[in-house]
Amino acid sequence: MLRPQFLVLESDGLWKIRHDGVSYGPYRSQRAAILAAIDAADRTPKSAYEPRVMVQSGLRGKVYVEWTCGEPYPVDFAHYRARPAEARRTSAAENRVA
């Protein structure tokens, strides 16, 4: 079984998440996309190998690992996750660009 990977990347000034060949977003900021990707990665089935969130640098195109399951969450993730699911969906919709 392959490790689930969530890639956060910039495209035309907007941030997107790619997972299993599907794009999600766009998000207005890199941070919003990273938090959404961590939330999605954390919700993957526990039978999967440790999922990870990777970010592609806009300047050089290099990819680095932002978060791997089992690592501490980012400081602002607790605030993101503590909000009710409806508020997270509303916030995510606000961060997306039509």
pLDDT tens digits along 57-86? 777 788 988 898 888 878 777 666 676 655
Q: Could you tell me the two tokens for 16?
A: 């997107």
Non-local CB neighbours of 48 within 8 Å, separated by 6+ positions: 1, 3, 4
**Could you tell me which of 12, 46, 41, 42 has the C-alpha nearest to residue 27?**
12
pLDDT tens digits along 14-59 = 999 999 999 999 998 999 999 999 999 988 877 668 899 999 977 7
| Predicted TM-score of the model (pTM) | 0.75
